[in-house]
Structures are given as structure tokens and as C-alpha cells.
Amino acid sequence: MLQQDSRIPLQKIATKLKVPKSTVHYRIRRLEREDLIQGYYAKLDASKLGYDYLAVVLVRAKYGPQYHKKVGQKLSQVPGVWAVYYVLGDFDFILLIRAVDREDYMRKLESVSSMSDIERTSTQIVARVFREDPRVDTGA
């Protein structure tokens, strides 16, 4: 329920679950302490904020001892890169990048391709987002 609307009143949750409000309060605190709930965020519409140039980038890195840790961390810090997956397949990393326009995208891609550990990148421009909803399916 908190994934649907983090500002739902505790009383409403309590009523639905038929438990006292204090129990709801207590359980939420525990989920927060266990880091299962990682935070409460307002979700903004990226395209309305001008982020209209999206890309999925397939990356090949140069091999070496522990290369994927070093490269993965560096990639995570490139502005505009909001997801960095280390994958087992034809590529080493798959990145999701948001940019304002082509010029902005090229600056961000340049930050990736100029790293000395990066061998190749292949950009797949996103023509349309059919779904992008990172909320976890809790079966609720």
C-alpha cells in the first residue's frame, strides 16, 4: 500500500488490515530499520522535466582482475546514468541513460566512452517508453 501511495494515513492501512494503528506503525518502523523500505519518494514525470532523450547503452569493457567492480562503480557516477547492470552475456554492462536532448546525451556518452576501461558502447535510442514502473510486485 505504501508503494501505491506513501502518504496513505496509517489509520486507513490499519482498517484494511484489521490491526490496531499502533501495530501498523510498529511494523513500518521495523521494515524501515531492516532497510526493506528504502525511502519515500515523490515520482516525477521525466519527460515533463525535459528529459526526452532516453537510451539503453550496451557496454563492453576491457577484462582484467576485478574489472567489473571498478568499471561498474565508475559508470554509476556518470551524470544521467540512472541504472547500471553488470550482465552475463555478450556485453558487460547495460546502462539506462536520460538526457535532455542529443547534445546532452552526447556529453554523457562521452563521459562513458572516454573511460580507459571501456572498449565499445552501442547506443539503442528509446523511441517510446511503453512501461517504466520500478515498483516491486508484492502480490498485494
Show contacts with a second copy in window 54-113 (CB under 8 A): 54-56, 60, 63-68, 72-73, 75-76, 79-91, 93-94, 98, 102, 105-106, 109-110, 113
CA distance 106 to 110: 6
Q: Compute the least distance from the CB of residue 75 to a second copy, in Å.
A: 7
Minimum CB separation of residue 42 from a second copy in Å reads: 3
CB of 25 to a second copy, least distance (A): 14
User: Could you give the CA distance from residue 123 to residue 32 in angstroms, rounded to a whole number?
Assistant: 38
Is the Cβ of residue 19 or residue 87 nearer to a second copy in the bound state?
87
Q: What is the rounded CA–CA span in Å between residue 10 and residue 21?
A: 6
Determine the Cα–Cα distance for residues 50 and 68; give it in Å rounded to an integer.
32
Distance between CA atoms of residues 27 and 68, nearest Å: 37
Site mask, a second copy, residues 7-46, x = CB under 8 A? x--------------------------xxxxxxxxxxxxx
* CA 21/CA 25 separation, integer angstroms: 6
Contact between 134 and a second copy per CB under 8 A: yes
The nearest distance, CB 18 to a second copy, in angstroms, is: 21
Q: Residue 44 and residue 117: Cα distance in Å, rounded?
A: 34
